[in-house]
Amino acid sequence: MNLHAVHASPIAAITLDLDDTLWPIWPTIARAERQLHDWLAANAPATAGLGAVALRRWRERAAAEHPQWAHDLTRLRLEAIRGALGEAGEDPALAEPAFEVFFAARQQVDCYADVAPALERIARRWPILALTNGNADLARIGLAQWFSAGQLGAREFGVGKPDPRFFAAACARLGLPAQAVLHVGDDARLDVAGACAAGLRTAWIRRPGLAAAAEHADPPQADWQGADLIALADWLGA
């Protein structure tokens, strides 16, 4: 189906989710946690001895005690490390360098094979703005060249998807009305339902093996859905 046949006005820009849309996030996080543990073992051995479960427990505790930080994954992770250090009787000031080890490893993503060729095609025709609830750094990852409109993160803005204010801020940054923007993401609730509610058009990336984790009790009606970005580029006519 041709995009212009569905809507009277053409797509003028694209907002694009990152985690699980461009790369699988959980293998990345698991690797980053292992590198964090190795650093703690060398610099804060009592904290390392608590194990990964303790760090996850502290992260859950930080999220429960500070719901106002829900949009700020960096702060939650830092608070979890600080809490674990305190529990082990070690210097809480080690939280900052420990987090930097985790954060550097968090940027070592393994992009899906379709990402680079598809972004190259799409970026030739439309400005792309990364719109993410996570804390990926496109410059450190090496993808920034395709995001001519930059990156907007929940941590920077103060709320994240599916809040309509976040999508409205993305449209404002692009200087476009919502109906001229296509949001692309993998999560039915955060990306598709959220963007639909804010008036954007939507493309739902449903990668094999990830669909179950991103399902929605009442699946929204996306403008398009498919398995990868190459299929999206074909649909867009890029």
Q: What is the mean pLDDT of residues 8-16?
A: 89
pLDDT at position 1: 39
Per CATH, the number for 3-23+111-236 is 3.40.50.1000
Q: What pLDDT was estimated at residue 2?
A: 41
State percent of the chain over pLDDT 70: 92
pLDDT of 4 > 50? The answer is no
Q: pLDDT at residue 5 above 60?
A: no
Name which CATH class applies to 26-106: mainly alpha
Domain with CATH 3.40.50.1000 in the chain: 3-23+111-236
DSSP string, the chain: --HHHHSSS---EEEE--BTTTB-HHHHHHHHHHHHHHHHHHH-HHHHHH-HHHHHHHHHHHHHH-GGGTT-HHHHHHHHHHHHHHHTT--GGGHHHHHHHHHHHHT-----TTHHHHHHHHHTTS-EEEEESS---HHHHT-GGG-TT-EEEHHHHS--TT-HHHHHHHHHHHT--GGGEEEEES-IIIIIIHHHHTT-EEEEE--TTTTGGG--SS----SEEESSHHHHHHHHT-
Q: Where in the chain is the domain with CATH 1.20.120.1600?
A: 26-106
Point out the residues that are catalytic: 17
What is the pLDDT at residue 218? 57
Read off the pTM: 0.87
Whole-number pLDDT of residue 216: 52
